[in-house]
Structure 1
Amino acid sequence: MMRKLLLLLQTGLLLAGLLLLACIWLQRQALQQPLQISGEYLLDVSPGATPGGLLNRLETEQVLTGAFWLRQYWRFNLDEISLHSGEYRLLKGMTARDLLSLWQRAEVVQYSVAFIEGWNFRQLRAALAQQEKLEQTLTELSDQQVMAAVGWPDAHPEGWFFPDTYKYVRGMRDVDLLEQAARRQQQVLAEEWQERAPDLPYSDPYEALIMASLIEKETGVGAEREQISGVFVRRLRLNMLLQTDPTVIYGLGERYKGNLTRANLREASAYNTYLNPGLPPTPIALAGREAIHAALHPADGESLYFVARGDGSHVFSKTLSEHNKAVREYQLKRRADYRSSPAPKSTKETQ
């Protein structure tokens, strides 16, 4: 009797061992199998999805087999890991183990959108609207409603978003990216304001941001930012009109078709710095850290004028006669009404 029981026990253990080996083999085969895809395959994992449900789905779609064994592997080895929602990029040649490893690392596909220095808010919104992977929540809202959604209902939208490249994943909202850009701009402006040069003609950081936007639009060569800032700051101190074309262009809005005329320069607008003293009422573009730094650290010097050479750089002049000579050399030969730099009038001269 004891021999029979011992034999049954040995047989049972042998069968159990064989069954365990079979399970290990089947699980290994399931993990090592190549995914049945012919090219790139984007697996969209929605919030609340489970590994088991996804594996069953992929088996139904004939992307893999042995979903049962893969579920058991996740359960006993990776169950404490949370499955992140988003898109996962599967490539030809990947195995089921590679897929589980992507989930384990939360290696979701990232997309990016760039907000460019010098863009206005209209251009920024257009760039956001083109991002197909973003959840679009702002397209039907006015600019002021967008600012309310960001949390600044009373703020003018121009200039309050830091120009940079922002990463996002499928399903993220457009307003989430705007909030990131707004927080970043606040942070950068606060940091630069704390380190500002003394005796600047700004009453608060917002005026420095306005100045930075002018510098951003006038600068074709980064090394000239502080010089251009110096010209503008000296003109403010002397109560001279800034007379910078980009402010007039901004005031024209969509009416501007690429040709700034003398009539435009005489047109009444809060942004016409040929007519209005001081800074315009708001920024006119996205300003990066370098432009903000330049606004708060203007270069010393005596120049009050600058004119574009046509290659992105400028000629800086101390006197009106020097400036007029540079204008004749670099601009009047090209177009009689071309203006690309502060002109010589002051507010006193226009009174």
Structure 2
Amino acid sequence: MKKTITTRLLASLIPLFAIFCLSGYWFATDLIAFQKQPLLITQSQPLKVESGTSVIKLAQQLEQQGLIQDSWKVKYLVKLEPKLASIKTGYYQLLPSDTLETLFKRLRLGQEAVFTLTLIEGKSIKEWQHTFAKSEHLVFGTDDFNQVLINNGDTSGLPEGKFYPETFHYHAGDSVQTVLQRSFDMMQMSLKQAWEGRDADLALTSPYELLIIASIIEKETGKPEERDWVSAVFNNRLKKGMRLQTDPTVIYGMGDRYKGNITRKDLREATAFNTYQIDGLPPTPIAAPSRASLFAAANPAKVDYLYFVSRNDGSHVFSATLKAHNRAVNEFQRKKK
């Protein structure tokens, strides 16, 4: 009799057990499908994960923002895959192609959003400061450019030209000084390489002088192929004791007074940067030179040019004599034949 009751009990429990197993399987399958569903977004948007935020709380926030549905499932998803509970704080980017699975993986690995900042060659520190001011999620300090110099043992207070123009990548919360340190290191390396490979006939006495000339070449060059010719003009002039007489230095010395034109009065004004009035080099670079300009400054072309004038199309006419130069000026600047 007891055996019969036990058999009947087992027979009645088997279907219940089967139903339980099937339900568990279906729920687990549903959870897996849930994490593979695309987020409900059509364009990229930021996601900031604060310290102390759990994956369950984050899921609730995503649902409140209308980015997912059924956030309650995440609680059970974590039980199924415990590693999903490990997320790192930081600033991330939600992508239209994201699913919860891909998002949680990035959060687990700490793959934060990457931002870019481009420091353009030929620009001054003042112009770069405007670039930094427009950049997102960077932490500013006090006098960041000079602070980087001080950190590297340079107490000159002259940051112009000492930072390399390049596109830099950073994360939210990085400091401006972190970016500038990479820029400074790259300029030091490139300047050292250019100086060590300089021409023996170079009329310069230090890497800093090379940096100054390179910055002027950068501002004067409209076409890359002319860099070594522009360099040759300046090198030849320095060797002969001639003044550089280059407009970009005058413009730099004018500062905010420059409104797009240089007058004869400007050319006669005595400033430290007016190379129509001073002998030799200006006291500092006038812009950030590119690597190409650094190496052009170190290796001028083997030509006897002393002058150049713009054709007004980005190119220049180069001349070895003042007579030939004046003809070019008449043709391209004064429009005389």
TM-score bracket for this pair, using the shorter chain length? 0.7 to 0.9
Q: In the alignment, does 2:74 pair up with 1:71?
A: no
Mapping of 1:14-163 within 5 angstroms?
17-18=21-22, 20-37=24-41, 39-46=43-50, 49-64=53-68, 65=70, 66-76=73-83, 83=88, 85-91=90-96, 94-103=98-107, 106-131=110-135, 133-138=136-141, 141=143, 144=146, 147-148=149-150, 152-163=154-165
Aligned match for 2:260, one of 253, 258, 276: 258
Whether contact under 8 Å (2:318, 2:325) holds in the other structure is yes
Partner SS, residue 223 of structure 1: helix
Whether contact under 8 Å (2:44, 2:93) holds in the other structure is no
Displacement, 1:306?
Answer: 0.9
Letter in 2 for 1:323: H
Distance 1:52 1:247, change over 3 A: same
* Alpha-carbon separation, structure 2, partners of 1:288 and 1:47: 41
Q: Structure 2 regions of 5+ residues with no counterpart?
A: none
Mapping of 1:272-351 within 5 angstroms?
272-333=274-335
Letter in 2 for 1:85: G
Q: In the alignment, does 2:186 pair up with 1:181?
A: no
Which range moves more in the overlay, 27-36 or 111-120? 27-36
Partner SS, residue 270 of structure 2: coil
Deviations 1:179-235 (A, max 9, x none): 221122112212222222223222221111111001001100110000010111111
Distance 1:198 1:72, change over 3 A: farther
Displacement, 1:110?
Answer: 2.7
Whether contact under 8 Å (2:165, 2:288) holds in the other structure is yes
* Alpha-carbon separation, structure 2, partners of 1:128 and 1:291: 24
Displacement, 1:154?
Answer: 2.8
* Alpha-carbon separation, structure 2, partners of 1:264 and 1:299: 31
* Alpha-carbon separation, structure 1, partners of 2:147 and 2:297: 30
* Alpha-carbon separation, structure 1, partners of 2:182 and 2:145: 17
> % of aligned pairs identical?
37
Partner SS, residue 197 of structure 1: coil
Deviations 1:280-330 (A, max 9, x none): 111000100000010011000111111111111111111111111111111
Partner SS, residue 88 of structure 1: strand
Deviations 1:75-133 (A, max 9, x none): 24x67x76362222232x643223224435655433322211111111000011011x2
Aligned to 2:202: 200
Whether contact under 8 Å (1:137, 1:174) holds in the other structure is yes
TM-score, scaled relative to structure 1: 0.82
Deviations 1:251-270 (A, max 9, x none): 11111111111111111111
Distance 1:63 1:47, change over 3 A: same
Q: Structure 1 regions of 5+ residues with no counterpart?
A: 335-351
Aligned to 2:239: 237
Distance 1:2 1:112, change over 3 A: farther
Displacement, 1:333?
Answer: 3.1
Count residues in correspondence: 329
* Alpha-carbon separation, structure 2, partners of 1:216 and 1:294: 10
Which range moves more in the overlay, 29-38 or 172-181? 29-38
* Alpha-carbon separation, structure 2, partners of 1:182 and 1:61: 42
Distance 1:62 1:74, change over 3 A: farther
Aligned to 1:226: 228
Distance 1:332 1:195, change over 3 A: same
Which range moves more in the overlay, 15-24 or 189-198? 15-24
Displacement, 1:36?
Answer: 3.5
* Alpha-carbon separation, structure 1, partners of 2:205 and 2:196: 14
Whether contact under 8 Å (2:148, 2:180) holds in the other structure is no
* Alpha-carbon separation, structure 1, partners of 2:156 and 2:3: 90
TM-score, scaled relative to structure 2: 0.85
Letter in 2 for 1:325: R
Which range moves more in the overlay, 170-179 or 4-13? 4-13
Whether contact under 8 Å (1:30, 1:69) holds in the other structure is no
* Alpha-carbon separation, structure 1, partners of 2:3 and 2:197: 90
* Alpha-carbon separation, structure 2, partners of 1:47 and 1:163: 35
* Alpha-carbon separation, structure 1, partners of 2:19 and 2:89: 40
